[in-house]
Amino acid sequence: MKKMIVLFVAVVITAMSLNAQSVDSTRVNMINITNSSAVARVFFFGWSGGSGTMYVYENYGPGGVSNVNQFYTETYPVPYGTDSLDILLSGLSSSTNYFTDNYISYPFMMNATSPIVSFTTAACALSVSISSVVLNSCSEQLTATAGFSSYQWKRNGANIAGATSSVYVAISDGSYTVVVGDASSCTGTSSAVVVDVNEITITASADQEVCAGESVTLTATGGTSYLWSDGSTGSSNSVSPASTTTYTVTGTSNGCFNTDAVQVKVNTLPNVSVIASEEAICIDAVTSILFLVSPAGGNLSGTGVSGTQFNHTVAGVGLHTVTYTYTDANGCSNNDDVVITVMAKPIVSGIEYYPGDNNNGVLILNGNFQYQVEVILGDYVYSSGSQSQTTVMFYFFPVINKGQYITVQSVSGGDGACFVMEKYLNVSEPSLDSVEKNKDKRIFDITGKFISDGKDLNNIKFLPNGIYLQGRKKFVVIDGNISF
């Protein structure tokens, strides 16, 4: 749409001459207007005094006379004798009031400005229409006027998601319109086209709600074949989304199709934890293990569990898993486990010590040790590094004096321990000569495996560290040193 405004301005602005050239006046005499631009025709009167070039540009701006200098055009050269010039004012907004004037200058002379005039841009309105072609009994193709930069189809006044091209295939009854736009942000809305088709109705499941990690089966009815947005086919679709997801199903029957959607909301699992005051306890301990749980309000389960306590005497010796389960307001459950070790008290049936050189020797414990064993001698703790056995050996053990006490404890790697006190039992220390005099000189390891005929005693010194049998007597090898 274009509009023409003819302005008659009576004010005369005279340029003062420095070289016999002059312009009696300049004024904006006519403006051709669109919704986003205008063309101002500038007239010059009384240009005299010879040849040359003057320059002119146009000031303009919206919102009042004070904004007339907000924008301006490039400077245009005006050859001598020119009495008018058309100047384009671009980047305007539709239905907006603007103010403009022009400014002229020429070398070696004073400048002149025209009176300020106003104009209003045209309202923005695009013309668009819809043509219709019936494709089959259940669909109709709607085509909008081409050439616009944007399209949005509507059904019964509501936007159709994803329908943003110039062509739309309608498969449902209703009143259809299209809104178009151009690069200057003008819009236009078409007249309505009524579509009446033999549509099929596809109905998907109601929206679902699940907990993270769960699956749910979606169903659809109304068609003879189906295609889901995740690629599945058939009227049923089992899904297990990681996050809230909307599934679309397209149903087809006799060449006609329609769609429906179902949202599966995924609720996160609650963050659950259980912490035990101790993770290992002796079977004869007098205290109980307590649990700290989060969030409160869940359930503890496991052998020996009562309320928030663990009764080790009820649970018995061994490993016991205690589980804390919590269910939130969405019905989503999560759990956390803690393993409690109930240790048996170590049974020591005998203690033997074989002294070696360099103030050390081998300590041997006989008995029943279900867990790793540590021996405490004074301020020092020595670990066997093994568990669940009947014989435990400690190499390079410090010298133990007769009558000295040691502490034996079973440990599981946790906080608890089972203790037993045993007095060191004195053992005989037979000499090498007595071994040599023994009739049976064959050497066996502690398990009874044959090692050597024992005839070359020097070879004995090269045996690996350990306990050996010769005849009915034991001897210990530590770094080539033999102790009986």
Q: What is the DSSP string of 178-200?
A: EEEE-TTS-EEEPPPEEE-----
Give the pLDDT score at 387. Answer: 64
What pLDDT shows up at residue 265?
97
Residue corresponding to tokens 């004012």: 89
pLDDT at position 455: 66
Residues in a beta bridge with 41? 30, 86
pLDDT of 423 reads 52
- At 309-338, the pLDDT tens digits run 999 999 998 899 999 999 999 999 999 999
Which alpha helices (DSSP H) does 55-134 contain, by range? Answer: none
Encoding tokens for residue 306?
Answer: 């009562």
CA distance 279 to 20: 109
The CA distance from 481 to 478, in Å, is 5
User: pLDDT per residue over 226-285, tens digit each?
Assistant: 999 999 999 999 999 999 999 999 999 888 888 999 999 999 999 999 999 988 888 888
More reliable by pLDDT, 437 or 219: 219
Is 0.85 surpassed by the pTM of this model? Answer: no
Q: How high does pLDDT run on average in the chain?
A: 82
Query: What's the pLDDT score for residue 183?
Result: 80
Q: pLDDT at position 8, please?
A: 32
% of the chain surpassing 70 pLDDT: 81
**pLDDT band at 169; cut points 50, 70, 90:** very high
Lowest mean pLDDT among 107-111, 148-152, 431-435: 431-435
203-267 fold = Immunoglobulin-like (2.60.40)
What percent of the chain is predicted at pLDDT more than 90? 38
Reply yes or no on whether the pLDDT at 357 is more than 90: no
Write the pLDDT tens digit of every residue in 13-22: 222 333 334 5
Whole-angstrom distance, CA of residue 298 vs CA of residue 234: 41
pLDDT of residue 483: 66
Lowest mean pLDDT of 58-62, 307-311, 399-403, name the range. 399-403
What values do phi and psi take at 479, rounded to 5?
50, 45
Token pair, residue 327, equals 């269910």
Ranges 24-33, 66-75, 159-168: which has the least confidence: 24-33
Q: What CATH number should be reported for the domain whose range is 273-343?
A: 2.60.40.1080
Q: Tell me the three state secondary structure of residue 307.
A: coil
Sheet holding 450-452, edge to edge: 450-452, 443-445, 466-470, 473-478, 481-483
Domain coordinates of the chain in residue numbers? Answer: 3-120, 130-195, 203-267, 273-343, 347-423, 432-483
> Which two structure tokens, joined as six digits, stand for 86?
């058309």
Asked whether the domain spanning 347-423 has the same topology as the one spanning 203-267, the reply is yes
Give the torsion sign (CA, 233, 236, 239, 243).
Answer: positive
Q: In the structure, what pLDDT confidence band is assigned to residue 299 with cuts at 50, 70 and 90? A: very high
Q: How far apart are CA 79 and CA 53, in angstroms?
A: 5
**347-423 CATH, one of 3.30.70, 2.60.40, 3.40.50, 1.10.540:** 2.60.40
Q: Among 232-236, 386-390, 465-469, which range has the highest average pLDDT?
A: 232-236
The structure tokens listed for 241 are 């989304």
Which pLDDT belongs to residue 414?
55
Instruction: State residue 461's pLDDT score.
Output: 67
pLDDT tens, residue by residue, 194-231: 999 888 899 999 999 999 999 999 999 999 999 999 99
Token look-up 């909301």 returns 265
Residues 6+ apart with CB under 8 A from 1: 34, 35, 122, 123, 125
What does the pLDDT read at residue 439? 53
Q: What's the full length of the chain, in residues?
A: 484
* pLDDT at res. 53: 76
Written as six digits, the tokens of 129 are 């229409």
Q: What does the block give as tokens for 231?
A: 């690629």
- Architecture (CATH level 2) of domain 3-120: Sandwich (2.60)
